[in-house]
Amino acid sequence: MTGIEAVLTVDLGAIAANWRQLAAAGPVAGVVKADGYGLGTAPVGRALLAAGCRHFFVAHLSEGVALRAAIGAGPMIAVLNGFPPGADDGAGLVPVLNGLPDVAAWTAAARAAERALPAILHVDTGMARLGLDAGELERVAEDHGLLAGLDLRYVMTHLACADAPEHPLNADQARRFAAACARLPPAPRSFANSSGLFLGPDFASDLGRPGCALYGINPTPGRPNPMRQAVGLEAPILQVREIAAGTPVGYGASWTAPRPSRIATVAAGYADGYLRALSGRATGILAGRPVPLVGRVSMDLITFDVTDVPPPAPGDRIGLIGPGLTPDDLATAAGTIGYEILTSLGARYRREYRGA
Ligand SMILES: *Cc1c(COP(=O)(O)O)cnc(C)c1O
């Protein structure tokens, strides 16, 4: 058997360049939650560190512990979902405090430790997901003693609609965040995600938190993508078959050849994050030419109509993500967002890391 592995290529040079581009406009962290948006916590973390990044955000405690092992002591690693005092086992992670119960737990830990403990205070300004709600903010604003023992590294909030610049909630959130910060003890602020960094001066802060833009997802939907693409995916053709007009292809016989056709069967499927919703809606690239995906996406296999291109051979690779075929393009075809395409990328690919 030849060429039976699919290859995921991650361009660490592009990720580093994307971070530097955003950092040139103001201080930014690197958001590397969910295994670096599916591209690998350790290689992505080290590439960002080498580019100059000194502040990192993950979602889970375990992601923070893994990142610390990869990048060493020094840089701030904040855990968005928070964690109980002591649970980081000496990894030196900074909790994001998402409500008064979190604040109470960490101030109690600071009292017990008889020293200030670093923390980030999250204020909800319009998502109703995590962060101090209006009532909790009021209590802390009235009594700063509730934060005693905390070394507030940042006060943060998160935008709900940053990818829709005209949405009125953006300006509301900027106003509410400024008002909240004015009532809290003075601390640096952390505000915009990737798209928020493109919304203008009202959304600038002491630490932006870009994620998706680092990985080449367009932070300005509907406008040209200012970021460099960081991911390529190629999967091998297992077989090429000639079928007669009227022959159905794949589960559910959802596609039937309208003419004598040549079908390439390729080793990737929804178990690899090539979403089943792409069935009949995506294209691949074969020797520089687009070829339509036909039939359903199976767990481990997909089929392309290669009738109109020079006949390929088993072992040839079809590009599933690449130049001119971005994660955002796949997302549009699947009815989702580029974030979900990246974070769904499977574990069965051989991963090749380029540049740094
Ligand atoms: C995921 C996340 C980010 C990064 O968002 P992008 O849209 O990927 O830039 C920033 N802040 C918080 C709180 C997040 O959850």
Ligand 1 pocket test: which of 22, 28, 31 has the largest number of ligand atoms within 8 Å of its C-beta? 31
Torsion of CA 184, 187, 191, 194, to 10 degrees: -170
Nearest CA to ligand 1 atom 4: 211
CA of 11 to the centre of ligand 1 (A): 21
Active site residues: 33, 251
User: How far is residue 90's CA from residue 237's CA, in Å, rounded to a whole number?
Assistant: 48
Side-chain-side CA neighbours of 71 within 13 Å: the count stands at 33
Structure tokens at 272: 């690899």
- The helix (run of H) or strand (run of E) holding residue 170 is helix 168-183
Give me the residues paired with residue 354 across strands.
11
Length of the chain equals 356
- Residues 98 and 122 sit within 8 Å (Cβ to Cβ): yes
CA of 210 to the centre of ligand 1 (A): 6
Nearest CA to ligand 1 atom 6: 211
CB burial of 216-240 (b: ≥16 within 10 Å; e: otherwise) equals bbbbbeeeebebbbbbbbbbbbbeb
Domains in the chain: ranges and CATH:
12-215 (3.20.20.10), 231-354 (2.40.37.10)
**What is the reported pLDDT for 4?**
78
CA of 173 to the centre of ligand 1 (A): 15
**Is 129 marked within a binding site?**
yes
Q: Which residues contact 128 (CB under 8 A, 6 or more apart)?
A: none
Across the beta sheet with 150-156, the strand order is: 30-31, 55-58, 76-79, 94-97, 117-122, 150-156, 189-190
**Is 46 marked within a binding site?**
no
Nearest CA to ligand 1 atom 1: 211
Ligand 1 pocket residues where CB is under 6 Å: 31, 33, 80, 158, 193-195, 209-213
Nearest CA to ligand 1 atom 12: 158
Percent of the chain as helix, strand, coil, to the nearest 5: 35, 25, 45
CA of 159 to the centre of ligand 1 (A): 9
Residue 326's alpha-carbon distances to 26, 42, 344, 351, in angstroms, are 27, 23, 15, 18
**What is the reported pLDDT for 1?**
47
User: How far is residue 43's CA from residue 52's CA, in Å, rounded to a whole number?
Assistant: 14
Closest atom of ligand 1 to CA, residue 213: 9
Strands (DSSP E) found in the chain: 7-11, 30-31, 55-58, 76-79, 94-97, 117-122, 150-156, 189-190, 231-243, 248-249, 255-256, 261-266, 283-286, 289-294, 302-305, 317-321, 350-354
| Mean pLDDT per 10-residue interval, the chain, length 356 residues | 81 98 98 98 98 98 98 98 97 98 98 98 98 98 98 98 98 98 98 98 98 98 97 98 98 98 98 97 96 98 98 97 95 97 96 91
**What is the reported pLDDT for 70?**
98
Kindly report the pTM of this predicted structure. 0.96
